Structure formats: structure tokens, C-alpha cells
Amino acid sequence: MKKMVSRSSKVCKNMFVACSGGKHLASSLARKVGGCSCVLDSEIFPDSELRIRLPKEVRNWNVYFVQSFYPDKIDVNDKLVELLFSAETARELGAKNVYLIAPYLGYLREDFRFRKGEAVSAKILAKMCRIFKKVYVVDPHLHRLKTFSEFFPNAKKISLSKEMSEYIKSHIGECLLVGPDDESEQWVKPVAEKLGLEYKILDKHRISSRKVKTRGKRMNADKVVVIDDIISTGDTLIQASKLIKAKELYFMAAHGLFSEKALSKLRGKAKIIVSNTIPSKVSKIDCVSAIAREIKLK
């Protein structure tokens, strides 16, 4: 007698939905974790409103929305609306659990009310994200928060220190690691410990929102890797490079935003290496394995 196999046993339990900022990662995550993937059907009407549709059945599935908040053809604000509409739709359609994978999560800069009447965007975003059972974020930039859970109790912070260490070991070798400011030590130190390398931290003084000055002793080494979490305008790294004399200089970060043509400014000063939390021509470090490890631990 043939053994009957229930239809439900063949149903994929994990669905990875690629939002507009996650198309470069969703299918790889599905293969790594185990599951299916699809691309969110999203359209912008002539009046700039968004139309959202989930292209596959999600009832009784664990649905992982993959959305990285970087500006491209669809701006960051639209990506947030797209995500929230999609997540609520999945809940309405009977998804078993709804998760967010945000390789790069924006809106964390404003974690304090600096002026009367100002929005604390990080706290507001955290409240919006309560719709998700868990939020997975790669190396979030914590300015004044000691821990990510202060605002995001349902979030899991994912470090790329292992992936960065492996890249340095395979492609660069013995080198001096440098952090461009005090905040960067949380990313530099774990990499240094994994590789058994020396590291130094510079002192950055912010003059204005767009101007910084870096202080510290001048450094000489054959190879120097400056590590930070984000490369935005690149000004912090440019200032740090003025104190470094090296035959080979590298700028490494988890996230490459490259605002204001930063990539062009930096290319003549160092070799640039970032992860693929945000797709770019210099995305050499794959974040998929790090994210998959944490999902499998849940």
C-alpha cells in the first residue's frame, strides 16, 4: 500500500518576500535558510500612492519581508510604507508569523528629542515594527542607545565581524585596524580579536552636521584597514586617512550608502569594501550567511 502524503507536508513553511529594497537578497536567504521566495508586487500610481499585492499564498506560512532602507528609484519613505502595508496584508491573509529582515535599517539617527517638538524617529519606527514577531537588523548604528533592545525589544542585532574577519584574512592579511571615532570601536574590536591584530581608535570632533575633524597620532604601516559601520558622505574616512601613511589603505564598512558621490571621492584614497546589505559595485562581503545563522537560531 502506498503511503499517503498530505498536501500540507509539501507546503513550504518559510516565504521570503523581496520588497523593493530586498530583491538582491531574498532568494539567497530562502536557499540558505530553507524556503521559497517571491518578489512583492508593488506599483506607484500617478498620484504617488502605492499599490501593494502579495503574489503568493501566505496562509499558515512564516513570512519574512526583506527590506533594506537605502535611497534609489524608490525613496526610503516609500519603502517604509510599502513594508508596513505588506506586513499588515500578510497578517490579514492568515500568515502564521510575520518577520522583518532589514539588512540596513534607517531612521535610527534621531533617537533623542534634540529640539522642542522634534520627532524621535527611532522610537516611532520601533513602535511601527511591533507588527513583526522579530526584526533582524545588520549592524544598526546606535548613537545614544546602549543596546538596540531599548527601543526595539523584538529585534535581533546581527554582526558582520565574522565575515569582515574572514575577508581580511583571505584578501588582505596582516594589517593594522583603525576605527575613525569612538563609536567605531564596537565594530573594530571584534574583528581585531578574531584575527589577533592590533587596533587603534581615533578621536572625531563634529563641527557641524556636514563637517568633522579627526585627531590622533599619525600612523605608519604597510597595510591599514579603517573599519566603520556606515560609509555615507565619506567625510569621516577622508579625515581619518589624513593621519595614516600606508602602502595599502582600505576602507571597510557594513553599509555603503555613498551619499553625495562619496564613492567617487573615496576611490582615489583607498580600496573600498562594504557588504551587500545595500547593493553596490564594491559590495564584497556577503551578509546572507550572518542573517541566516540568526534565523536558524530562533
pLDDT value of residue 11: 53
pLDDT value of residue 214: 82
pLDDT value of residue 169: 98
Whole-angstrom Cα distance, residue 143 to residue 111? 7
pLDDT tens digits, residue range 125-139?
999 999 999 999 999
Which phi and psi (to 5°) does residue 54 adopt? -85, 120
pLDDT value of residue 9: 43
CB 295 within 8 A of CB 158: no
Counting as low any pLDDT under 50, the low residues of the chain are 1-9
Whole-angstrom Cα distance, residue 298 to residue 290? 13
CB 263 within 8 A of CB 282: yes
Structural domains of the chain sorted by starting position, each given as residue range(s) with its CATH number in brackets: 10-158 (3.40.50.2020), 161-285 (3.40.50.2020)
Q: Degrees (nearest 5) of the Cα angle 161, 152, 253?
A: 25
CB 74 within 8 A of CB 113: no
Which phi and psi (to 5°) does residue 274 adopt? -135, 175
pLDDT value of residue 86: 98
pLDDT value of residue 4: 47
Whole-angstrom Cα distance, residue 162 to residue 109? 25
Prediction pTM value: 0.91
